[in-house]
Amino acid sequence: MRRALIAVSVVFCAAVLALIVALVMVVSSLASPRVEAERPTTPPVTCPVVDPVMVGGIEVPAGPVAGYCQDRLINAAWIMEAAKAQGIGKHTQAIGVMTAMGESSLRNIDHGDAVGPDSRGLFQQRDNGAWGTYAERMDPYTAASRFFSKLVAIPGWKELSPTEAAHAVQINADPDHYTPWFPAAEQVVAVLSGDVPA
């Protein structure tokens, strides 16, 4: 009987001790301020030192501008030139640049993905006859011209938000896919337009 009482006492003491430890942990977690996890940041971009180049009427610097170097800024300039040829202003030029950022990171890529293995170019345009030939889809100016032609044909396109406008043309699975790139696109358009220094 005495051994049974000792065993019960030991178990009871262990349970009380575990409860005290748990309470201390809960109280200490409530007392310390909660720290939100920081979003990962991209390291600063170092671009090669190169002379500015002209794309149409746009002088393209070495960069970086919004994290993009000259090789990609040249593609942004072609998008802007295609928009200007259609009389499209800077806000909508930024929509085109944003879309290419979201589709290809402003790279004129010669491959698609699992969703669109036949997609090509800055806008990842499909080989379905709606976007022209392979050569046209791989030409930044022509691909951008096709993008803007489709955009301005959409009723009420001027009232759409930037990501809604891009989605209406691209039909991405996620209508908000392009949103994160709009501030960078506006910065690129502002710099390449000469509105702000590089």
For 127-181, the DSSP string reads: SSSSS--HHHHTSHHHHHHHHHHHHHTSTTGGGS-HHHHHHHHH--SSTTTTGGG
Phi, psi angle pair for 45, to nearest 5° = -90, 130
Residue with tokens 């209406």: 168
CA nearest neighbour of 80 among 104, 59, 62: 59
Residue 14 domain-assigned (yes or no):
no
Residue 20 domain-assigned (yes or no):
no
* Whole-number Å distance between alpha carbons of 75 and 188: 11
Residue 43 domain-assigned (yes or no):
no
Q: Give the domain range for residue 171.
A: 53-192
Residue 127 domain-assigned (yes or no):
yes
Residue 174 domain-assigned (yes or no):
yes
> Which ranges of 32-161 would DSSP assign to H, the alpha helix?
70-85, 90-104, 134-137, 140-152
pTM of the model: 0.77
* Whole-number Å distance between alpha carbons of 20 and 27: 11
Residue 177 domain-assigned (yes or no):
yes
> pLDDT tens string for the chain (198 positions)?
555 444 445 445 444 444 444 443 433 333 333 222 233 345 678 999 999 999 999 999 999 999 999 999 999 999 999 999 999 999 999 999 999 999 999 999 988 776 677 789 999 987 787 888 989 999 999 999 999 999 999 999 999 999 999 999 999 888 899 999 999 999 999 999 999 876
Say which CATH number the domain at 188 has: 1.10.530
If 0-12 CB within 10 Å is exposed, 13-18 middle and 19+ buried, where does residue 27 land? exposed
Q: For residue 120, list its beta bridge partners.
A: 125
* Whole-number Å distance between alpha carbons of 130 and 192: 30
Residue 117 domain-assigned (yes or no):
yes
Number of domains observed in the structure of the chain? 1
Residue 114 DSSP class: S
Residue 58 domain-assigned (yes or no):
yes
